[in-house]
Chain A
């Protein structure tokens, strides 16, 4: 009898602590499959964030560091500069990366650190109990925006891919989602491409994945997927913002129209 489907060898068999309907488990698995496929688990260093995925190290058979809130890109910088032969990645949520850690992610991206960041954006603080994030949608009700996010008072949601793609240095910046099977396939390709580019010593690779939080959004898992599709996707367009081979990108992921990007004239 042959095994047709099994958990990635780079992952443990621990049951995850994530809520029903959360997409962290799917995204974890894509990282695990990538580590297996590229044969890099034995030289991988993962950096865990603060947030729901703070315990990510329980689910991987690879060396992990647990960072202070928002500082994962700084730890990754230190680890990769100390050991350039390692494959270093951070896995961060939107509170961690887009709020307390904006300085670290922007400068790691701009220095062109040879690391990969998987950024899971679910438009809310999950672990601390559903507070407003910089990525929360206008009108979105959270425990710290009970009347809905008011852009007149706290600004509009931050688009991190768009922000990072204004920088000249980063090699790969892409936004995907995992709420349909087709998008899952594309997300897996994007994560794999990010790690492959790191193996080619390309400067900084970044995959944003739109995600759900049924618990803190106060919706069923199915309704959450619809909300992501209807509310988040129009504001956070999926696509490739930067790629060394743009515009000839990988199948399925469309390049974001040029007007959305600040193109570097000299690169053209």
Chain B
């Protein structure tokens, strides 16, 4: 497929189709309703199903029921809607089913606002719903990356039979950029869905999709199986980008998603002025790229975490670099997006304080 100029939300919808997904259940919420609008037109073109649910509870539990049949399925929402979907996320993780969720984050708490924010980081990475589970969480910084990560999310959901979350923000959803669609290669050697999905017990014993295990030993066993997946994620699914870190930067900025992109502009301007600043951008928020960040933090010696929240990812950054290296923090929230100048000012202030 040729390069095409698309709005982030629409590009995410098309990415799901290009990845082979033919089932989408959703409930409208700003700033991501364009995904539903786009797929309400596009799904019928490809013989797929779009259904507008009665609520995010409905949509996410429709995803649960469809995922349990072994078909590819996804939904999209924004912060308050994701809170309602947390129920299904927990059940889908417990029942070990593949499903993709997209959160185009807006400011909170509560109804909050409709402008871009990153204040759902803790919800996404520490478990939105109840119980011992995690989700793979990817954070795109461009529309192209939103496309690539959405397509990859389907492959990973299928590979691990687990919910995968792509977490962008209102900026990713609303801006237009040129994109190309290139699906990651298909998984091979996966167990037949006849071994786990509810798709008709023909010539095999019945399959039961459940997260209920009244015997505590059996429930603990299910949780151990989940933990084994998360150990594989820590080994195989850590993704990050470093920028301008060669040589001896005077400070390392950590930021993810749109915020990292703004930080890059600030870093480029500082470089033109003769000051080298490095950037560490986690792409997988869970599993968090702890080891590479620790190594870089040790080498550079000064870390500033910048977020569109009042300090959420900074907890993971601090845990990565350890107590010997206090992490500084700068954040705006509620839809206030720091400008490159504001970030630059914070970086310079930090350098002066340490001088």
Interface residue stretch chosen among B51-59, B155-163, B224-232, B257-265: B51-59
Q: Which single member of A60, A61, A77, A106 contacts B65 (CB below 8 Å)? A: A77
Task: Name the B residues within 8 Å of A45 (CB-CB).
Answer: 69, 198-200
Q: Is the CB of B209 within 8 A of A66?
A: yes
Task: Name the B residues within 8 Å of A48 (CB-CB).
Answer: 210
Among residues of A, the one whose C-beta sits closest to the C-beta of B99 is A78
Task: Name the A residues within 8 Å of B49 (CB-CB).
Answer: 81-82
Task: Name the A residues within 8 Å of B53 (CB-CB).
Answer: 74, 107
Interface set, chain A 37-70, CB cutoff 8 A to B: 41-45, 47-48, 54, 57, 60-68
Q: Which single member of A41, A67, A75, A79 contacts B201 (CB below 8 Å)? A: A41
Q: Is the CB of B95 within 8 A of A104?
A: no
Q: Which single member of A54, A63, A74 contacts B62 (CB below 8 Å)? A: A74
B206 within 8 A of A: yes
Task: Name the B residues within 8 Å of A66 (CB-CB).
Answer: 95, 208-212
Contact code string B48-92 (vs A, CB < 8 Å = 1, else 0): 010101110111011111111101010000000000000110010
B25 within 8 A of A: yes
Q: Is the CB of B61 within 8 A of A78?
A: yes
A103 within 8 A of B: yes
Q: Is the CB of B198 within 8 A of A64?
A: yes
Contact code string B189-224 (vs A, CB < 8 Å = 1, else 0): 000000001111110011111111000000000000
Take A65-B65, A75-B61, A76-B65 as given contacts and tell me if A54 and B91 are in contact as well, using a CB distance cutoff of 8 Å. no
Q: In the bound complex, what is the Cα–Cα distance between A103 and B27 (angstroms)?
A: 14
Interface size, A (range): 20 to 34
Q: Is the CB of B58 within 8 A of A62?
A: no
Q: In the bound complex, what is the Cα–Cα distance between A220 and B54 (angstroms)?
A: 42
Q: Which single member of B57, B67, B199, B200 contacts A78 (CB below 8 Å)? A: B67
Task: Name the B residues within 8 Å of A75 (CB-CB).
Answer: 61-62, 64-65, 68
Q: In the bound complex, what is the Cα–Cα distance between A149 and B45 (angstroms)?
A: 53
- A112: shortest Cβ distance to chain B, in Å? 12
Counting chain B CB atoms within 10 Å of each CB, the highest count among A54, A81, A82, A107 belongs to: A82
Task: Name the A residues within 8 Å of B73 (CB-CB).
Answer: 78, 82
Q: In the bound complex, what is the Cα–Cα distance between A48 and B65 (angstroms)?
A: 11
Interface set, chain A 154-212, CB cutoff 8 A to B: none
B151 within 8 A of A: no
Q: In the bound complex, what is the Cα–Cα distance between A63 and B71 (angstroms)?
A: 15
Q: In the bound complex, what is the Cα–Cα distance between A83 and B55 (angstroms)?
A: 22
Q: Is the CB of B63 within 8 A of A78?
A: yes
Q: Is the CB of A74 within 8 A of B57?
A: yes
- B210: shortest Cβ distance to chain A, in Å? 4
Take A74-B57, A77-B51, A86-B199 as given contacts and tell me if A65 and B209 are in contact as well, using a CB distance cutoff of 8 Å. yes
B149 within 8 A of A: no
B172 within 8 A of A: no
Counting chain A CB atoms within 10 Å of each CB, the highest count among B53, B65, B88, B200 belongs to: B65
Q: In the bound complex, what is the Cα–Cα distance between A42 and B210 (angstroms)?
A: 19
Task: Name the B residues within 8 Å of A68 (CB-CB).
Answer: 61, 64, 87-88, 91
B23 within 8 A of A: yes
Q: Which single member of B55, B59, B63, B198 contacts A63 (CB below 8 Å)? A: B198
Q: In the bound complex, what is the Cα–Cα distance between A67 and B212 (angstroms)?
A: 10
Counting chain A CB atoms within 10 Å of each CB, the highest count among B73, B87, B199, B200 belongs to: B200
Q: Is the CB of A79 within 8 A of B66?
A: yes
A71 within 8 A of B: yes
Among residues of B, the one whose C-beta sits closest to the C-beta of A79 is B65
Task: Name the B residues within 8 Å of A71 (CB-CB).
Answer: 57-58, 61, 64, 87-88
- A268: shortest Cβ distance to chain B, in Å? 28
Take A74-B61, A81-B23, A81-B51 as given contacts and tell me if A65 and B202 are in contact as well, using a CB distance cutoff of 8 Å. no
Task: Name the A residues within 8 Å of B65 (CB-CB).
Answer: 47, 65, 67, 74-79, 82
Q: In the bound complex, what is the Cα–Cα distance between A79 and B64 (angstroms)?
A: 8
Q: In the bound complex, what is the Cα–Cα distance between A47 and B23 (angstroms)?
A: 19
Counting chain A CB atoms within 10 Å of each CB, the highest count among B66, B67, B205 belongs to: B66
Q: In the bound complex, what is the Cα–Cα distance between A83 and B68 (angstroms)?
A: 11
Task: Name the A residues within 8 Å of B95 (CB-CB).
Answer: 66
Q: In the bound complex, what is the Cα–Cα distance between A7 and B198 (angstroms)?
A: 23
Known contacts A57-B208, A78-B73, A81-B62; 17 additional CB pairs below 8 A are A41-B201, A63-B199, A64-B198, A65-B210, A66-B209, A66-B211, A71-B58, A71-B87, A75-B62, A78-B62, A78-B63, A78-B66, A81-B23, A81-B25, A81-B51, A82-B65, A83-B199
B residues with a Cβ closer than 8 A to A are 23, 25, 49, 51, 53-55, 57-59, 61-69, 71, 73, 87-88, 91, 95, 197-202, 205-212
19 contacts between A and B (CB under 8 A): A48-B210, A61-B205, A61-B206, A63-B200, A63-B209, A65-B64, A68-B87, A74-B53, A74-B61, A75-B65, A77-B25, A77-B51, A78-B67, A79-B198, A82-B71, A86-B69, A86-B200, A103-B55, A103-B57
A residues with a Cβ closer than 8 A to B are 41-45, 47-48, 54, 57, 60-68, 71, 74-79, 81-83, 86, 103-104, 106-107, 111
**Which 6 pairs across A and B sit closest by C-beta, in order of nearness?**
A78-B65, A75-B65, A74-B61, A78-B62, A78-B66, A63-B198
